[in-house]
Amino acid sequence: MLNALLITGTDTDAGKTVVTAALAAYWQRYCTPTLGILKPIQSGIGDCEFYSQVFGLEPTQVTPIRFPAPLAPPLAATQAGESINLECAWQAFQQLQLQHRFVLVEGVGGLGSPITYETTVADLAWDWKLPALLVVPVKLGAIGQAVANVALARQTRVHLKGIVLNCNEPRTDLEIAQWAAPDLIRTLTGIPILGTLPYVADYKNIDELTHAATHLDLERILPLPTLEARSR
């Protein structure tokens, strides 16, 4: 079994980074073997710098390919007068796999988002044989977005382990039930809902991130049964 998981979403700002950070914070707090984080490609400033600051990671190891413009990667690369060499990202991924027990890979945008002029996130998941976790933000339209992205995953042969609903803003139980309707999404897609991540006010607070992760079905997301807990 591949020791990695792709965190993808229905779109930009779905909550991939906070879900990745919550899983990483929980692992860091309770699990002995180390965990790696990879954002293969980034346009603009944000996730790489965040992971570096919060988890003390080397930016070049987190994100081997970066462009200054906050555009789709192929457009950002063209604006910078550069090309995208995914072999560089693949080598970084392989290195993290050798160094860590498990690797979380955060994608860009959604499954259909372009990485190059010929390649999407879904293509990368297939090429790297990555199972994926789909992050769906709790908002109006969440149900349709979830159904569409699951259909794309099936079309591109991406294995979805499950769906995580994410509260980008404070949400009531009623809003979650009406806007994201977990049972309906599960019925329409056939994909399990592995929890709802509550609103995290401070993404840089490890304690808050760790607590948020406890709302997820962690044993179905991470290989926790094979790990030694630090608390022992």
- Give the three-state DSSP class for 217: coil
Which tops the pLDDT comparison, 186 or 56?
186
* Residue 151, token pair as written in the block: 């259909």
pTM of the predicted protein model: 0.93
Cα–Cα distance between 163 and 216 in angstroms, integer? Answer: 10
Confidence of residue 137 (pLDDT cuts 50, 70, 90): very high
Residue 226 has what pLDDT? 46
39 is catalytic: yes
Q: What percent of the chain has pLDDT over 70?
A: 96
Q: What percent of the chain has pLDDT over 90?
A: 86
Whether residue 144 is predicted with pLDDT greater than 80 in this model: the reply is: yes
> What is the set of domains in the chain, with CATH numbers?
4-224 (3.40.50.300)
Cα–Cα distance between 218 and 164 in angstroms, integer? Answer: 11
**Active-site option among 16, 39, 129, 161:** 39
Instruction: Give how far Cα 89 sits from Cα of 31, 64, 178, Å.
Output: 26, 6, 40
- Beta partners for residue 67, in sequence order: 43
Helix (H) or strand (E) holding 188: helix 182-189
Cα–Cα distance between 228 and 232 in angstroms, integer? Answer: 8
